[in-house]
Structure 1
Amino acid sequence: MSVHFTEDTGSTRKYKFRRIQTGTIRFKVKAAHDVAICLSSDNEEEPEDMYEIFIGCWGGGESGIRRKKHDDVCRIETPDIVNGDEFVGFWIKIQRGVIKVGRSGQKHAFMTYSDPETLLHATWYGFSTGWGAEGEWVFPDDDDTSSSSSSAMSSSDSEAEDINNLEDRPIQYKRPARWVPAKSGYFPRHPVSGGEGPDGEVFVGMAHHEGAYVLGMVVPDHGCCYIPYGGDAIPKSEYFVLSNPGSVTLSWEPGSMGKAPSGALQGGITEDGEALFIGRVSVDGEVSVGKVHGSHGVCYVPYGGKEHAHKHYEVLCVRNVPCRV
C-alpha cells in the first residue's frame, strides 16, 4: 500500500484531495503534531465552505472541528494523540447529520459534531500537515482521485488478470460483481460494504480454507478477513474482497431457515460442493457478514472469536441482472 507524504505547509493548510469512497474515511498517519483533514463538496485548492478536522493541533495537545475556515465548532484536549515515530490510525464517519472522529480499533468517537445547519454534502476529503510538522499517510481505500477512466479500466483489467493467474480460482460472476485477491488490509476499487461492525465498517470477503471457499467479513483495521468455520472465527491474512466495478445496485434482502431470496449472489462453496450465499446478521447490535448454508438451515457469521449460527438473516442480492455463476 502506498505511503503519501505531506510537507509542512505552515498556516496555509494546502490540502491534497481524494474522493470519498464510503461512509467512513479511514487513514493512518505518522506526524509529530498538526494533522488536518478537510471535508468538502469539491476538490478546489481552497473551497469556500468545508469542515476541517484538526488532530493533535494547537501545540499538539488539542483536536477540533472548524467550519468555513474560521468557526471552531468543536475543540477538546487530546494529549499525545499522534506520533512522529509511528503510524496511528483514525476514522471519520459522516452519518445522519453528525461528524464523528475516532481512533482505529475503538468503536466510540473521541470527537463529535452535529451541525445545527444543514450538514455540508462532502464528496471529497483532503489531508495536510502544518505548523512545523510533516506527515506520512496510508489510506486503506488507496484510490488515486486523479486517475482517469482509462487508468481505472487498467486497474480493473489487472485485477481480472490476477484472478485468472490463480491455480485454484473462486466462483466468478458473469458481471454483477468480482472477487478480487487481497491480503493484509488491501482493498480493490468499489468494495461491497457489509455494514457497520464492532470496529467500524466491514466488507464482504471470502477465503480459501480446508478445501472450501468460505464467506466472511473483511475488517480494515485488523488487516484480515474473518470467516466462520468449525465453531471459530478464523482470521485469514490472504482473502478475496467482493467488488462492484459496474456499480450494479445490490441490496440486502430478508431470508431464513437456510433459504436465499430471488437474485441472491452465490458467494462460496463448501468442501463438498454445496453452494453458499452471502449473508449478514446483527449480533449484539453490530453487523457481521458470513455464509448462508442451505443444508444446515442457518447463516453462520464470525463474531467475538466464535462462529455463530442464525436462522434469520439478510442475503446480498442483485436485481435485474443475471447472477448465476
Structure 2
Amino acid sequence: MSNMMDVATEDNLQYQFFPVSSGSVQFKVRAAHDAHIALTMHPQESDPMYEVFIGGWGNTKSVIRRNRTKPEKVEIDTPQILNAGEFRGFWIRWDSGIISAGREGEAIPFLSWNDPEPFPVAFVGVCTGWGASGTWKIEESPEFDTPDQLEYKFGPAVSGILEFEYRGPHNCHVCLTAAPAEVDPMYEFILGGWENTQSVIRHCRQKPEKVTVPTPGLMNPNEFKRFLIEWRCGRLAVRDGETGAVLMEWQDPSPFPVTHFGVRTGWGARGLWRIKHFPAAVPPSAPQAQALYATPPGYPGGVAVSPAGGAQWMNATGGQVPPGAVPGGQDSNGEPMFVARAQHEGATLPGKLVPSHGCAYVPWGGAENGKNEYQVLVGGSNQWIPTNGANVPPGAFQGGQTEDGEPLFVGRVHHEGSVTIGKVQQSHGVCYISYAGQELGFPDYEVLMP
C-alpha cells in the first residue's frame, strides 16, 4: 500500500510511529549517524519490539536489538553507511520472524536475524539521537496493481477515512470489514462498474444494492482518479478526491467497527492503485461540561452518586475527544480508547470511545451499538481494580444505569489483543463489552474506582 511521508527527527531518541500493512518499509534518510527504526505491535515503545540501528556508534556499525535489551541479536561493521549531506536509501523487511535490512538497490541484506518467537508488526517508528538529527522520506511500498480475478488485497484501516487513486478502465472495488478477509459484516463500494456506467454501495455482499448512482465515464485506464471513502458511526460516504463532492452515501442502522479495507478489480479490468491510510489527527474539542452523573439532555433519570476527584461527563459528538479525557484502554491496533457513556433504549450505558471510528460504542441487547452523540469522562481517576462475578468493590465508579434503574459500573476486559471498556452489571456477574459487532460478557474484569 503506497504512502510517502517526509519526517524530521531531532536529537532526542523519541520514535515517531506510523502504521504499516505490508511486511516491509522503504525509506531514505539523511543523517550523520544513528538512524534508528523500531518495529512494534502498537504506536509506542512497548515490548515486544525490534530495533534496527543503522550507522550507530559514530557511523561505524549497525545492529538488530529485541525488546531494548543487550546483547545485540546481530552486529556488523558499516563504516560511513550514513551521510549528513545526502539521502541514503534502505529497506527493512520482516517475514515469519526473519528481520532483515538492506541498502536501496541491493537484494542481499547487510543485517539479518531470525526471531524464534516472532510477533505481528503493525507499526514502524523512526528516530535519531546521540548527537544526530535526521530527515526521512518514508515509503511503505510502491504503487501496486490488482489482477482481473475479484480477489481482495487487505490492509489495516487505522482511521475513519481511506484516500486512494485508481487507474483502470472500470470496476474499482473497495470493501470495509472487521477482519482482513471477506467476512460479514462487510461494506462494498463498486466504482465504475457495469462497464464504467454506474456505482453502488453494497452491504454483506447482498442485493439489492443500498445505493445505485449513474457514473458514466468515472474511470479512465490512462489517468489516476482520486477518491475518498469515509465511515462515521455507520454513515458511509464516497467523495470525489479532487472536489470533495459526495458521489454516494448511505447510513447503516446497525454499524460495525471497521478494522480493515480491501481492494480489487474484476470483470475484465486490471487496476493500478495508490492508497493513503494513515490516521488523521482528531482535533480536541471543548464541549460544555456536565456535572458528574448529572442527567444530560435527553437522558432518562440520573445516577445518584456524588461527584469524586473533580471528574465530569462532557458532551461530545463524531469522535471528538475532550481535553483531559480518561484513557481506559486501547484497540487491537494500539489506538487509545476513552471512557464514555451514551443513551440507548432507555438506559445510560458505559462504553468506549474510539476516536478514529467517529463514535462511541455501548453494549446492549447482544450487539455493539455505535453512538454519534455521547459523553466522555474527563478529569477522573484511572485506577482499575481486578475482580470477578458480582464482586464489585465498594465505592466502584458508577457510570450509568439500566432501563430498569439498576446501577451500572465502568469496567474493562482484555480481549483479542485489546483492552476494551464496557459496563459491569452486578446482577449478571459479568462485564459486558462491545466488540466486532457483538456484546460479549466476561466474568473476570477490571472495574474503575473513583
Identify the TM-score tier after normalising by the shorter chain: 0.5 to 0.7
Deviation of 1:294 (Å): 1.4
Deviation of 1:214 (Å): 0.9
Please point out which of 276, 297, 302 is paired with 2:434: 302
Distance in 2, Cα, partners of 1:33 & 1:302: 35
Distance in 1, Cα, partners of 2:429 & 2:38: 51
Cα deviation 1:35-64 (Å, max 9, x = unaligned)? 3265xxxxxxxx6434464979xxxx9447
Cα deviation 1:78-115 (Å, max 9, x = unaligned)? xxxxxxxxxxxxx8323359599xxxxxx942425799
In the alignment, is residue 210 of structure 1 matched against residue 342 of structure 2?
A: no
- Could you say which structure has the higher strand fraction? 2
Deviation of 1:276 (Å): 0.3
Q: What fraction of aligned residue pairs are identical, expressed as a percent?
A: 33
Distance in 2, Cα, partners of 1:190 & 1:272: 31
Please point out which of 286, 289, 294 is paired with 2:418: 286
Distance in 2, Cα, partners of 1:52 & 1:285: 22
Q: Closer, same or farther in 2 for the Cα pair 1:268/1:164, shift >3 Å?
A: closer
Alignment correspondent of 1:243: 378
Distance in 2, Cα, partners of 1:54 & 1:94: 9
Q: Closer, same or farther in 2 for the Cα pair 1:251/1:166, shift >3 Å?
A: closer
Distance in 2, Cα, partners of 1:313 & 1:165: 27
When normalised by structure 1's length, the TM-score is 0.56
In the alignment, is residue 313 of structure 1 matched against residue 284 of structure 2?
A: no
Distance in 2, Cα, partners of 1:208 & 1:182: 13
In the alignment, is residue 92 of structure 1 matched against residue 234 of structure 2?
A: no
Does the 8 A contact of 2:366 with 2:440 survive in 1?
yes
Q: Closer, same or farther in 2 for the Cα pair 1:52/1:219, shift >3 Å?
A: closer
Distance in 2, Cα, partners of 1:312 & 1:55: 33
Q: Closer, same or farther in 2 for the Cα pair 1:99/1:75, shift >3 Å?
A: closer
When normalised by structure 2's length, the TM-score is 0.42
Which structure would you say has the larger RCO, counting Cα contacts within 8 Å and 6 or more residues apart? 1
Q: Closer, same or farther in 2 for the Cα pair 1:51/1:280, shift >3 Å?
A: closer
Larger radius of gyration: 2
Alignment correspondent of 1:192: 326
Q: How does 1:222-241 map to 2 (within 5 A)?
A: 222-241=357-376
**SS where residue 299 of structure 1 aligns?**
strand
Distance in 2, Cα, partners of 1:288 & 1:279: 9
Distance in 1, Cα, partners of 2:357 & 2:289: 23
Alignment correspondent of 2:315: 181
Paired letter, 2:122: A
In the alignment, is residue 262 of structure 1 matched against residue 394 of structure 2?
A: yes
The alignment covers a number of residue pairs equal to 224
Q: How does 1:27-46 map to 2 (within 5 A)?
A: 33-36=4-7, 38=9
Paired letter, 1:293: Q
Does the 8 A contact of 1:34 with 1:55 survive in 2?
no
Q: Closer, same or farther in 2 for the Cα pair 1:242/1:277, shift >3 Å?
A: same
Distance in 1, Cα, partners of 2:325 & 2:32: 33
Q: Closer, same or farther in 2 for the Cα pair 1:265/1:231, shift >3 Å?
A: same
Deviation of 1:166 (Å): 4.4
Deviation of 1:231 (Å): 0.6
Alignment correspondent of 1:74: 37
Cα deviation 1:4-59 (Å, max 9, x = unaligned)? xxxxxxxxxxxxxxxxxxxxxxxxxxxx8443265xxxxxxxx6434464979xxx
Please point out which of 294, 298, 313 is paired with 1:168: 298
Alignment correspondent of 1:111: 124
Distance in 1, Cα, partners of 2:289 & 2:33: 44
Q: Closer, same or farther in 2 for the Cα pair 1:232/1:108, shift >3 Å?
A: farther
Task: Report which stretch shifted further, 166-175 or 188-197.
Answer: 166-175
Q: Closer, same or farther in 2 for the Cα pair 1:112/1:212, shift >3 Å?
A: same
Distance in 2, Cα, partners of 1:173 & 1:37: 48
After superposition, the CA RMSD in angstroms is 4.3
| Structure 1 residues without counterparts, runs of 5 or longer | 1-31, 39-46, 77-90, 101-106, 119-127, 130-136, 144-154, 319-325
Paired letter, 2:317: K
Deviation of 1:190 (Å): 1.5
Does the 8 A contact of 1:36 with 1:54 survive in 2?
no
Deviation of 1:194 (Å): 1.8
Cα deviation 1:142-191 (Å, max 9, x = unaligned)? 38xxxxxxxxxxx58x4349x98943356575242211111111001111
| Structure 2 residues without counterparts, runs of 5 or longer | 20-24, 52-119, 131-135, 138-278
Distance in 2, Cα, partners of 1:284 & 1:303: 9
Q: Closer, same or farther in 2 for the Cα pair 1:37/1:199, shift >3 Å?
A: farther
Distance in 2, Cα, partners of 1:229 & 1:37: 46
Distance in 2, Cα, partners of 1:237 & 1:159: 17
Once superposed, which parts of structure 1, at least 4 consecutive aligned residues long, lie more than 6 Å away? Answer: none
Deviation of 1:224 (Å): 1.4
Cα deviation 1:292-314 (Å, max 9, x = unaligned)? 11122221111121111112211
Does the 8 A contact of 2:350 with 2:423 survive in 1?
yes
Deviation of 1:207 (Å): 0.9
Distance in 2, Cα, partners of 1:94 & 1:54: 9
